[in-house]
Amino acid sequence: MSTIMGESPSTEMKDCSAYRPGLEGVVTGESALCLVDEGEAGLLYRGYPIRELAERSTFEEVAYLLLFGQLPNQKELTGFSTDLVENTVLPRLIEVFLGAVPSGAHPMDIVRTGVSVLGMADADAADHSHDANVRKSVRLLAQIPLIVAISYRLINDKPRIQPRGDLSFAENLLYLLTGRMGDDQARAMARVLDVSLILYAEHEFNASTFAARVTASTMTDLYSAITSAIGALKGPLHGGANEAVAEMFLDIGSRERAEAWVRRTLAKKQRVMGFGHRVLRKGDSRSVIIQRYAESLSRICGDHRWYEIATAVDHVMQHEKDLHPNLDFYTAVAYLLMEIPRVLYTPLFVCSRITGWCAHVIEQQDHNRLMRPRALYTGPPRREYVPLDRRT
């Protein structure tokens, strides 16, 4: 058996005590961006409690916090918002790409490939400096919603909508996806959408963020790292849960059918979507926040059906399985009320999480070490090579 860098192989590879399938509970790096804790600390973005950020800040403020390390003052926020507005334009190359997208393309494939195309069109792409990565992050934050909205409208033969400079990020996103703006319901929807964007913006070393950091650790460009993250988020075990929850609510149809539906599903040993979390075993603090906003939006819209179905399902799951809803569960209620197309729920996740991904890429490359973990070998022991003419 060969040795590694001249060292004996006996100790390191025989000690498997640290092995955890799926890296569950394994600390793989340091980060100053986010603390995910079930205890008193709760969820913190750069030290700020998520509840305070959701209730008192805007998504633009939180994006600035993640990218720049501090909450902006008024002058900084105005400049940041202006930068976002000025970057809500797509290069000609991406326009050509969107015009050639086949009608059956998955929206996440469009976003993933669109980010790659943006990388080819960006003169900063090969510059890995901190300042260049921040500039690219701001451009991506401004441009990804355009890719999502324009591609959806082109594929579905809907008229294209231009972003407006007088709207906030959430108001523009709602307008681009649904055409709604200006009235009381639209303003309420935009506020709830803003909260959901804040809640989805960052969550430590989840699968897509870890994929971005591994890719970034090779000192490739930011666009490659973000492409890796989007590819990871597309997987149904990571992204797409809020879309699946919405489909579940539609299948249930009414509060009266909810309990029987859940019990029947559990009896078949099938999964009820929107419950449990790989890290948060005792409940997701973000879910409590978005539940309150989903209930409020239900009242404002005069439509309680989805919220009533959700609370009925929630009650049964906590009573029967002691499982708590995660962020995706009540977010689906809010998105159904907004009439956002369900196929865009996960791309909408990207519009928010791009802030966390970019902040992690910047952090990784500012203090980089190539990620190169080890594997626990489960193959056969050493075997003697048999020449081809002697094999039977």
Of 281 and 109, the structure prediction assigns the larger pLDDT to 109
Q: For residue 112, what pLDDT band results from cuts at 50, 70 and 90? A: very high
- CATH code: domain 34-236+344-366 is 1.10.580.10
Residue 313 tokens read as: 């399902």
Strand order in the sheet with 34-36: 34-36, 43-45, 48-49
Q: Are 324 and 284 in contact (CB under 8 A)?
A: yes
pLDDT beyond 90 at 246? yes
What percent of the chain clears pLDDT 70, i.e. is strictly above it? 93
- Say what the pLDDT of residue 267 is: 95
pLDDT digits (tens, 9 = 90+) for 133-185: 999 999 999 999 999 999 999 999 999 999 999 999 999 999 999 999 989 99
Backbone torsion region of residue 117, taken as left when φ is above 0, otherwise alpha when ψ lies between -120 and 50, otherwise beta: alpha
- Say what the pLDDT of residue 49 is: 95
- Say what the pLDDT of residue 4 is: 37
Q: Which fold has domain 241-338?
A: Cytochrome p450-Terp; domain 2 (1.10.230)
- Say what the pLDDT of residue 140 is: 98
Residues of the chain with CATH 1.10.230.10: 241-338
What mean pLDDT is predicted for residues 228-240?
91
Average pLDDT, the chain: 92
Residues of the chain with CATH 1.10.580.10: 34-236+344-366
Active site residues: 277, 328
- Say what the pLDDT of residue 3 is: 36
Closest residue by Cα to residue 66 from 362, 322, 359: 359
Alpha carbon distances (Å) from 317 to 111, 151, 298, 322, 332: 34, 37, 22, 6, 17
What mean pLDDT is predicted for residues 111-137?
95
Burial 233-266 (b: 16+ CB within 10 A, else e): bbeeebbbbbbbbbebbeebeebeebbebbeebe
Give dist(CA 216, CA 220) in Å, integer.
6
Which has the minimum average pLDDT: 60-69, 280-289, 338-347? 280-289
pTM for this entry: 0.91
Of 195 and 238, the structure prediction assigns the larger pLDDT to 195
Give dist(CA 113, CA 142) in Å, integer.
17
Q: For residue 40, what pLDDT band results from cuts at 50, 70 and 90? A: low
